[in-house]
Structure 1
Amino acid sequence: MPVPSSLTLGSLVVDTPVVLAPMAGITNAAYRRLCAEQGAGLYVCEMITSRGLVERDAHTQDMLVFDELETTRSVQLYGTDPVYVGKATEILCAEYGVAHIDLNFGCPVPKVTRKGGGGALPWKRGLLAEILEEAVAAATPYDVPVTIKTRKGLDDDHLTYLDAGRIAQETGVAAIALHGRTVVQAYSGAADWDAIGALVEHVDIPVLGNGDIWEAADALRMVEQTGAAGVVVGRGCLGRPWLFRDLAAAFAGESVATLPTLGEVRDVMRRHAELLCQHMGEERGCKEFRKHVSWYLKGFAAGGTLRRALALVTSLAEVDALLAELDPAEPFPVLELGTPRGRQGSPRARVALPDGWLDDTDGSGAHLQEDATEVTGG
């Protein structure tokens, strides 16, 4: 199938059909800026809860920070209550000037699914429709497109993605992203790209493919194999923000595969730390930087002592002194190309669900209690 060169989501046109997946504790304003400096795409804020936003929870509001050069503001919302989701959508449009809102129905974390949220929610078709209707109605006066992200289903015996696609289309959702795994798989095993292709055939709205995109060539293979309108990239860019440069080149028909030396990686690490400190202050910014060190240095020969020291930095001066110890001429470890990054783990024994959740597929889920604080992505 032909490779798309751009992505259209309602009134929003994205120059490259690539979306940065929201990742809790990762895709803050600094990281989004860092990735955007590498290549075009749509860069989504960390997921926030609709109830937290409506109730003006301080932590939720702290997460809604945008870089001064972030011209297209994109936010992912989590929610299980249609009223809260609708109100939160209106707040984002009216007060935060967002240009795109994504709704999360893919999170596999037990504390979320146990309350009927994330990847568990699409089992309740009626509730899903109610939430989408409220969100689209709230966003429409502002001409802001609403999209959703979901998974194949709870497990292979309880698939929901085709119904979710149909409901999304019927309620006016601009596009649907499918992570080609079930909730019970979490991040284990291989993503099912055939399911993405099946969803493309099933709906008329754009479908974005998600799962196992580790290199730009993977993204091209996915869209060619499935007919997807674009891709959503999550773990593949951890410690490799230049992946977005490769993706932009690939979708433009150019053959670029970035193999940075350790010196070039060091420069990106320094820029990342600098941006974090600008947005969060030096102390907190350096603490946030620590989690990225192992991803940046994966496969390189940097010694354990240096790695441990970088994972304990407290100031930019300390970052600079330690980065200076890296060998700038060391070539990129090519054996790392195409390999999984970030969390993987094993399949869960079962999906944690509210009592009686599987009894019917049309319940409203009116008894669900939505958290006011953030949850992780999916």
Structure 2
Amino acid sequence: MKGVTATLSKPAPRIGPYEVDPPVVLAPMAGITNVAFRRLCREYGAGLYVCEMITARAVVERHPGTWHLMTFDEDEDPRSMQLYGVDPKTMAEAVRIIVGEGLADHIDTNWGCPVAKVTRKGGGAALPYKRRLFADIVAATVRAAEPAGIPVTAKFRVGIDDEHHTYLDAGRIAEAEGAAAVALHARTAAQRYSGSADWSHIARLKEAVRSIPVLGNGDIFAADDALRMMAETGCDGVVVGRGCLGRPWLFGELEAAFAGRPLPPGPTLGEVAAVLRRHAELLVEHDGHDKAMRDLRKHMAWYFRGFPVGGDLRRGFATVSSMARLDELIAQLDPDVPFPVDAEGPRGRQGSPGKVVLPYGWLDDPDDPCVPAGADMMHSGG
């Protein structure tokens, strides 16, 4: 396809000093993109792999759970951290700590969370509506990171809902205040993860933001989706979220696609089981045995999607409590079953669209620079 060929010849985007080649970023996902999952994904391909969301307030307060989430492999380069905050001063202080203690090499800022407990206090996808406050936070974050040469990026959604689009202003503001790149999840907060992402918004953002890379996010479930997004929108790279759930080898497929090589064949059931076993080992190393087993359970349906695994066996995987039991269950799988066609397509949470809960009077004045009361969170990871 003509557009895809043109996309493949496009230079890899740079985020500050870092070339992102292939132009693929792992989206930060709460409870998913910990150091174990990032290592698993990195074993398949290059790119940029972002840890799950870290809250600025929790960094400043040195919350033990947050500091555990801020774990990177020794060979992880660059160490990419997503930071959430609603107060310029708190964001700047958190970045000064991160910079001073050498904890990360790239900071992404979160303006896309659609969860009600966040938006009802003016955080996440609600905040870019407040243009002056958004500018103040991005500027403070960039200034705090500058002494160490750490690039700051911004990831946001189309807007609150179809009546309140904020992404073009957010992109221009982030660019003006010194962000090294912007990424757009092409859904509104009201859509949550339902329906389809509207990639035409990514194309419009690319036209509006000229001096820094624009990355596209939304509905990339296969390598061809990434190529099509870049061909159709002109964006500089893609951000992959739910498409890699239970499918870390997607990054190998993306690397092959962007290099113009044939895609590797999908894994057999035995190969998937080996990846699952590797994931379990990495989780145990990071979190200890019991927590790792609890965390692993939510990945089971994603790993076995489309495979002919019986109900009893699926229930066993979904309630697994030990590595020994995991091995017993894996031994009952037929390792030669080929990768099923119906394993492709959307995965992860989808849900339904709904009204976005906002603070009282939030939409009255988009130029109000006041920090929303009570929106600073003390917990990280979403």
2:47 corresponds to 1:41? yes
Identity of aligned residues (%): 57
* C-alpha contact 1:243 1:258 (8 A) present in aligned 2: no
Contact kept in structure 1, 2:18 and 2:78, CA below 8 Å: no
Partners of 1:80 and 1:368 within 8 A in 2: no
C-alpha distance in structure 2 between counterparts of 1:249 and 1:354, whole Å: 46
Letter in 2 for 1:239: G
2:23 to 17, 21, 38: 17
Return the offset for 1:257.
4.5
Aligned partner of 1:286 in structure 2 is: 293
Aligned partner of 1:175: which letter? Answer: A
Hey, what does 2:224 align to over in structure 1?
A: 217
- Structure 2: tracts of 5 or more residues without a match: none
Q: Distance in 1 between matches of 2:373 and 2:288?
A: 37
Residue in structure 2 matching 1:352, options 341, 357, 373: 357
Post-superposition Cα deviations, 1:43-69, rounded to whole Å, max 9, x if no partner, equal 101101100111111121121111233
Q: Tell me if 1:272 matches 2:272.
A: no
Conserved 8 A contact 1:110-1:351 = yes
Displacement of 1:335: 2.1
2:363 aligned counterpart, secondary structure:
helix
Residues 129-184 of structure 1: CA deviation (Å, up to 9, x unaligned): 00001000011111111001000001111000000011011100001000000010
Aligned pairs for 1:188-203 within 5 A = 188-203=194-209
SS of 1:362's equivalent in the other structure is: coil
Q: Distance in 1 between matches of 2:372 and 2:219?
A: 36
Equivalent runs, 1:107-256 vs 2, <5 Å: 107-204=113-210, 205-256=212-263
Q: Is the 8 A contact 1:176 1:206 kept in 2?
A: yes
Q: CA deviation at 1:336?
A: 2.5
Shift of 1:375: 5.2
CA contact (8 A) 2:86 2:372 kept: no
Distance in 2 between residues matched to 1:251 and 1:306, nearest whole Å: 37
Aligned equivalents of 2:238 and 2:253: distance in 1? 13
Query: Is 1:91 the counterpart of 2:97 in the alignment?
Result: yes
* Contact 1:22 1:234 (8 Å CA) reproduced: yes
Cα separation, partners in 2 of 1:95 and 1:279, compared to 1, 3 Å: same
Residue 80 of structure 2 corresponds to 74
* Residues 359-368 or 215-224, more deviating: 359-368
Q: Is the 8 A contact 1:47 1:375 kept in 2?
A: yes
Give the Cα–Cα distance (whole angstroms) in 2 for the partners of residues 67 and 266 of structure 1: 24
In 2, the alpha carbon distance for the partners of 1:35 and 1:177 equals 20
Name the CA distance, whole Å, in 2 between partners of 1:199 and 1:373: 32
Q: Deviations over 1:221-250 (max 9, x none)?
A: 000110111000000000000000000111
Shift of 1:320: 1.1
Change (3 A) 1:313 1:198: same
Contact 1:5/1:16, CA 8 A, preserved across alignment: no
Whole-angstrom distance in 1 between the partners of 2:295 and 2:64: 19
Q: Which region of structure 1 is more displaced relative to structure 2, 241-250 or 361-370? A: 361-370
The superposition leaves residues 170-207 of structure 1 with CA deviations (integer Å, 9 ceiling, x where unpaired) of 10000100000001000011101000000000011110
- Are 2:303 and 1:296 aligned? yes
Shift in Å, 1:317:
1.5
Amino acid aligned to 2:15: L
CA distance in 1 between partners of 2:235 and 2:313 (Å): 42
Structure 1 gaps, min length 5: none
Q: Which of the numbers 346, 366, 373 marks the counterpart of 2:371?
A: 366
Question: How far apart are the structure 2 equivalents of 1:318 and 1:180?
Answer: 41
TM-score, normalization by structure 1: 0.97
- Rounded Cα–Cα distance in structure 1 between residues aligned with 2:140 and 2:66: 21
Instruction: Give the superposition deviation at 1:366.
Output: 2.4
Aligned residue pair count:
374
Alpha-carbon distance, 1:5 to partner: 5.2
Matched, 1:28 2:34: yes
Normalized against structure 2, the TM-score is what?
Answer: 0.96
Secondary structure at the counterpart of residue 102 of structure 1 = strand
**Farther-moved stretch of structure 1 (60-69 vs 107-116):** 60-69
Q: Deviations over 1:56-106 (max 9, x none)?
A: 111211211112332321000111011111111122222143111000000
Deviation at 1:287, TM superposition (A): 1.5
CA distance in 2 between counterparts of 1:298 and 1:29 reads: 24
